Amino acid sequence: MNSRRWRGDAAKPAGPSVWLIGGPTAGGKSTLALRLAEATGGEIVNADSMQVYRDLRLLTARPTGRDEARAPHHLYGIADAADAWSAGRWLAAAREVLAVIAGRGRVAVVVGGTGLYFRALTGGLAEIPASPAGVRAEVQEDWRRLGEAEFRERLGRIDPVAATRIAPGDRQRLTRALEVVLATGVPLNDFHRRAPTPLPPTAWRGVVVDPPRAVLYARCETRLETMLATGALDEVRALIGRDLDPQLPVMKALGVREFAEHLAGRATLAEALARARQSTRRYVKRQTTWFRHQSPDWPRIGADDEASQWEQFRALASP
């Protein structure tokens, strides 16, 4: 992987390169990415599956207008909530953006908490044939009839890798995995192994920002309270007012379901906030587990304050 010399915050590396900054939510990734972009004259590329949607700026903690003015930002708030973005669609858009940034001779800083996006960018993403409508309907009926536990058991008999790796409650990926193996006879992971690699190994370096779990939980709680104080309920109200398909990715953003329950009168605000906190803690745990297993060789930045994270990053970025 490319090495980089640092002669102060304004130093620019000798040639274009790509930095990947991943990790759990509220860990400090965006702040580190912005400082790196400013130090290198680089540009930031979003790798968070929810921050691509324009409808939930507050609830997804997208960069502020002030932050966006400090360095170019790409792939933030570009999609409508009714438009279901997949990892493949993000990858296609990211490749175009990275090519433009490289053409300008600038550093690209890809930052986010969606591990699958990083895996697609560095390991490739398979082009999987669309499932016939009959297969999709059969799989969706199986989900409704069996429930998640029995559905996962069925999937495990013909695609044990997918059944083991897909997180609890992820109906979209579980049903997609079964669709693929039923329609093609090939497990999903086999398609992924055959995929071409968009970024060659020499073109990028990756780091994981991973402060202590207790720090992350505390920050998430504070962030949720701030979101509520600055208008997150209005965002959720506008979103549910559109009567969108509940299976759309944006409807699964952290806090949407919980605060929608409150707006519908089925929970107090305190109850909704408590449930949103619990959902966020579970999400942090899943993200941490994913990066630990899927990118074990990426250096870890374990500090929990901005200055120390920057110093740790500078140290590991040195030749």
Tell me, what CATH number does 187's domain have?
Answer: 1.10.20.140
Q: What is the pTM of this model?
A: 0.80
Q: Picking from 170-184, 187-201, 244-258, 267-281, which range would have the lowest pLDDT averaged per residue?
A: 187-201
Residue 3 has pLDDT above 50, yes or no: no
250 band by pLDDT with thresholds 50, 70 and 90: very high
pLDDT (0 to 100) of residue 13: 42
pLDDT (0 to 100) of residue 102: 93
CA distances from 106 to 3, 14, 39, 135, 248 (A): 15, 10, 12, 46, 35
Q: Picking from 175-184, 188-197, 205-214, 258-267, which range would have the lowest pLDDT averaged per residue?
A: 188-197
Q: Which residues contact 190 (CB under 8 A, 6 or more apart)?
A: none
Residue 4 included in any domain: no
Contact 206, 122 (CB under 8 A): yes
Structural domain of residue 28, as residue ranges?
18-125+196-317
Q: What is the mean pLDDT of residues 208-215?
A: 97
Which CATH number fits the domain that encloses residue 284? Answer: 3.40.50.300
pLDDT (0 to 100) of residue 11: 46
Residue 1 has pLDDT above 90, yes or no: no
pLDDT (0 to 100) of residue 4: 41
| More confident of the two residues 115 and 196 | 115
Residue 6 included in any domain: no
Average pLDDT of the chain is: 91
- Per-residue pLDDT of 133-159, as tens digits, reads 899 999 999 999 999 999 999 999 999
pLDDT (0 to 100) of residue 195: 67
Residues 188 and 204 in one domain: no
Residues 202 and 143 in one domain: no
- In the chain, how many domains are there? 2
3-state secondary structure 272-311: HHHHHHHHHHHHHHHHHHHHHHHCCCCCEECCCCHHHHHH
14 band by pLDDT with thresholds 50, 70 and 90: very low
pLDDT (0 to 100) of residue 79: 97
- Per-residue pLDDT of 55-88, as tens digits, reads 999 999 999 999 999 999 999 999 999 999 988 8
pLDDT (0 to 100) of residue 319: 65
Contact 70, 38 (CB under 8 A): yes
